[in-house]
Amino acid sequence: MNGRMSSNRLPPIRALTPDMDGWGFFLCTQKDVRQSRSGELFMTLFLQDKSGVVRARIANDVARLREEFDAGDFVKVAGRTELFNGRIQLTIDRIRRVNPDQDRSQGFREEDCVLSAARPAAEMWQELEELIQHVRDPFIRQLLQQIMTAQAEKVRVWPAALTVHHAYRGGFLEHILSVARSALTLGAAYGADQDLLTAGALLHDIGKLQELDYDRATSYTRDGNLVGHVTLGTIMVRAATSAIPEFPDVLRSQIEHLIVSHHGHKEFGAPVEPMTIEAMILSAADDLDAKINQVRQALAEEGEGEFTAYHARLGRVLWKG
């Protein structure tokens, strides 16, 4: 394949336009081999890099190429872009699994091929540490330090959800920081307990580290489905507070309340609804951050026109301004 590759390297996915020709490194997250109604085989793929996701198809030589790679592999791909039903699509001529040692010389880097938060992980991690430093209550500070240290590896890379919002590498960290910023400014305006709000913002979704399995692709774990991140997170926090000597019981109750109530309403899966000003602020900040992230994704994916197509989850069209 080497010799026959076009000499043009494709730009990042977010920068693709129709009628480009070239090659690139991607992560293949989905691979379906299907039969057309008239019997021919063809493959539909989803490829991603740091900047976005693109649909791709292979119509020729499918029987051979299907053996060349699997979903979850990094791949080297050559093809051309075209507009298909209003979105960019890549028609693939050649594809093979990446050979890391060899392809590194051509610029392959794993981290460039995984859809990621816009901000670097190190920068976000530092913001997280600063938030924890600002906590005045020593018990809350210790709690946050211990949980975040223990979970650091996951916290740095986890997505915040399977599909709905912040569904990319670093999305979890991006989301909790954003919720923390909002909750703290709202909390300042309403004279709420800032230490509790920091704890709530950083811990409300901590159960997602057990709910989701993430290794380039994301899936639900058994506990994620059967127990759910709201309860899993409360259990994690209970274990952590139990390990801190003399952790005040009333503080533990309040933090657990922030977690169990953060979905705001029973019908959204909160077994208990917010009973404190801090819980109301946290729930509002979380909901708003999730909605705005969905709006941004919808705006980023859309083509022409002043409004997006109907957004099924939000139940409305969105204005593109």
Report the interface residues with its own copies, using CB under 8 A. 32, 34-40, 42, 59, 84-85, 178, 181-182, 185-186, 189-190, 220, 222-223, 225-228, 230-231, 234-235, 238, 250, 253-254, 256-257, 260, 266-277, 280-281, 284, 287-288, 291-292, 295, 306-307, 315-319, 321
Q: Which helix (H) or strand (E) holds 311?
A: none
What is the DSSP-derived secondary structure letter of residue 96?
E
- Chain length of the chain: 321
Q: How far apart are CA 246 and CA 243, in angstroms?
A: 9
CB of 210 to its own copies, least distance (A): 11
Residue 21 or 32 with smaller CB distance to its own copies: 32
State which residue, 68 or 223, has the beta carbon closest to its own copies: 223
Q: Considering beta carbons, is residue 48 or 308 the nearer one to its own copies?
A: 308
**Of 109 and 266, CB closest to its own copies:** 266
272 CB neighbour count, 10 Å cutoff: 14
Shortest Cβ distance from residue 38 to its own copies (Å)?
4
CB of 242 to its own copies, least distance (A): 8
CB of 274 to its own copies, least distance (A): 8
Q: What is the CB-side half-sphere exposure of residue 195 using CA atoms within 13 A?
A: 15
SS percent in the chain: helix, strand, coil, step 5: 45, 20, 35
Element (H, E) at 144: helix 138-150
What DSSP line would sit under 187-236, residue for residue? HHHHT--HHHHHHHHHHTTTTHHHHEEEESEEEE-HHHHHT-HHHHHHHH
Q: Which is nearer to its own copies, 16 or 114 (CB)?
A: 16
CB of 59 vs its own copies, minimal distance in Å: 5
Please state the closest distance from residue 37 (CB atom) to its own copies, in A: 4
- Residues with Cβ within 8 Å of 223's Cβ and at least 6 positions away in sequence, in order, are 210, 211, 232
Q: Which is nearer to its own copies, 54 or 281 (CB)?
A: 281
